[in-house]
Amino acid sequence: MPRLSEVIAALDALWPPSRAEQWDAVGTVCGDPDAEVARVLFAVDPVQEVVDEAVGLGADLLVTHHPLYLRGTTTVSAGTFKGRAVHTLIKNDIALHVAHTNADTADPGVSDALAGALDLRITGPLVPDPTDPQGRRGLGRICELDHPETLREFAARAAARLPRTAQGIRIAGDPDMTVRTVAVSGGSGDSLFAQVRAAGVDVFLTADLRHHPASEAREQSPLALVDAAHWATEWPWCEQAAAQLDAVSERHGWGLRTHVSRTVTDPWTAHAPSATSPTTPGAPN
């Protein structure tokens, strides 16, 4: 079996920490470099439910997309929910490693996995990494559909192919418009509207679209928007990442056993459709 340091070196080769944004917190949070690793669990969020899943699985390493301590900390007291996660991991000899924005821009990265889940043909990155001479790395992906379909049909495709969440799929635009080209970006994407407009695509699929940026984007161009849950747009990366580590394990003869968490860690748990409109008596202002 490989040591943790060997597995981490392989993960860092897939998603170099140097390619993470300066504000990000990626890398190994806890773990003994000399400990042996036989079983690895991939998940989006390092929350207690996922940590407990890792314990029950007998995992030696938990790899998550989202950082545990994005803004730093002065304590890992078990009296805090993040500290309790660290205590649980250490007590059970489980390492935690994070690949966040360095996985977003990788080749393949988070948006490649999202495009793959939607069965889209990738033509290039939305925001190319200027340090990549091959022009494959970068944030987001520009894609094409094999056959044109309506925005309504494309939204149904997303609803059917992405993990189910309470939010589901929201759309902005004419449901009957024709869709041929799509930009996708896993996670929060409303900072990318300028690049999406420049790409000239019909639809932008991402997550966490806020009212004002979305409203302004709709006013500036005929671009349609498809908004899915943040967790749902990033979860496909877990399967892709596990497959990448499987390939490394096979090359080295490590015999690792990789698993992907199916635990839904999207924070929203239910959805109640609106029943009134502003013109309906008794409707809220």
Q: What are phi and psi of 159, to 5 degrees?
A: -65, -35
Q: What is the pTM (predicted TM-score) of this model?
A: 0.95
Residues 6+ apart with CB under 8 A from 242: 40, 42, 258, 259, 260
Residue 238: predicted pLDDT: 98
CATH of 106-228, one of 3.40.1390.30, 1.10.10.10, 1.20.1090.10, 3.40.50.720: 3.40.1390.30
For residue 39, is pLDDT > 70?
A: yes
Q: What are phi and psi of 181, to 5 degrees?
A: -125, 145
Based on DSSP, count helices (H) and strands (E) in the chain, helices before strands.
9, 11
Residues of each annotated binding site for a divalent metal cation: 65-66, 104, 230, 234
Which tens digit of pLDDT belongs to each residue from 142-176?
999 999 999 999 999 999 999 999 999 999 999 99
- Is 106-228 in the same CATH topology as 4-102+234-259? yes
Q: Which of 87-96, 229-238, 256-265, 271-280 has the lowest mean pLDDT?
A: 271-280
Mean pLDDT, the chain, rounded, equals: 96
For residue 28, is pLDDT > 90?
A: yes
pLDDT band at 275 (very low <50, low <70, confident <90, very high): confident
pLDDT band at 132 (very low <50, low <70, confident <90, very high): very high
Hunting for tokens 């900390």 — which residue is that? 73
* Topology given in CATH for the domain delimited by 4-102+234-259: 3.40.1390
Which residue ranges make up each domain of the chain? 4-102+234-259, 106-228
Residues of each annotated binding site: 65-66, 104, 230, 234
Cis, peptide link before residue 108, omega less than 30° from 0? yes
